[in-house]
C-alpha cells in the first residue's frame, strides 16, 4: 500500500507532455460525448488540461470519471477472440487427424470419422461466424468513436 502511494506521488510530480495533455482532452471529450460531464464543465476541464504542468494535475481532471475501454481494450478483445478460434480450429484438426489415422490403422472400411468431423466442423463454423461478428462490431464501434473524436476536436488557437 505504501509503495502504491509512493508511486502515485512520484507520478503526480512528473511534468506532463503535450501528448499527455491531448490524451487527457480526448478522454474528457469521450466523457462529454457520453453525457458524463456538462458543456461548461468540459470547457473548464479542457482549459485546465492545457494549462497543466504535471501528470498529477491531469490525473485530477479524470479522477471522478470512470475509466474507459478504449481501442486497446477492443484490440485485446479481438485478439483473444481470434486466439480462441485458432485454438478451436487447431484442436479440430489434431483430433480429427488422429481419428482418421486410427480409422486407417484399423483397416479402413466405413469412414466413421466423418461423423465427428461433420458435427465438430459445424460447431467450428458457428464459432468462426460468431468471432467475425464480434470483430466487426468492435471495429465499427472503434471507427465510430474515432469519427466522433475527429468531428469534435476544438479548433487550434
Look at the pTM and tell me if it is higher than 0.75: no
Residue the block writes with cell 502515485: 8
CA distance 15 to 5: 18
Query: For the chain, which residues score pLDDT lower than 70?
Result: 1-11, 68-74, 146-157
Predicted pLDDT at 153: 47
Contact 103, 115 (CB under 8 A): no
CA distance 39 to 42: 5
Predicted pLDDT at 4: 66
DSSP 24-60: HHHHHHHHHHTTSS-HHHHHHHHHHHHH--BHHHHHH
Count other C-beta atoms under 10 Å from residue 108's C-beta: 8
Predicted pLDDT at 130: 86
State the DSSP code for 108: -
Buried b (16+ CB within 10 A) or exposed e, 24-52: bbbbbbbbbeeeebeeeebeebbeebeeb
CA distance 24 to 91: 44
Amino acid at each position: 500500500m505504501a509503495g502504491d502511494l509512493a508511486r502515485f506521488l512520484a507520478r503526480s510530480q512528473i511534468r506532463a507532455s503535450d501528448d499527455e495533455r491531448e490524451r487527457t482532452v480526448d478522454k474528457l471529450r469521450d466523457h462529454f460525448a457520453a453525457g458524463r460531464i456538462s458543456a461548461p464543465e468540459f470547457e473548464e476541464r479542457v482549459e485546465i488540461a492545457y494549462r497543466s504542468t504535471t501528470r498529477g494535475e491531469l490525473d485530477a481532471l479524470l479522477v471522478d470519471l470512470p475509466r474507459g475501454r478504449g481501442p486497446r481494450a477492443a484490440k485485446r478483445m479481438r485478439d483473444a477472440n481470434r486466439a480462441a478460434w485458432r485454438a478451436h480450429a487447431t484442436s479440430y484438426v489434431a483430433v480429427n487427424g488422429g481419428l482418421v489415422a486410427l480409422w486407417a490403422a484399423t483397416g479402413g472400411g466405413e469412414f466413421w470419422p466423418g461423423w465427428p468431423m461433420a458435427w465438430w466442423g459445424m460447431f467450428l463454423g458457428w464459432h468462426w461466424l460468431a468471432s467475425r461478428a464480434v470483430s466487426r462490431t468492435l471495429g465499427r464501434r472503434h471507427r465510430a468513436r474515432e469519427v466522433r473524436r475527429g468531428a469534435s476536436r476544438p479548433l487550434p488557437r
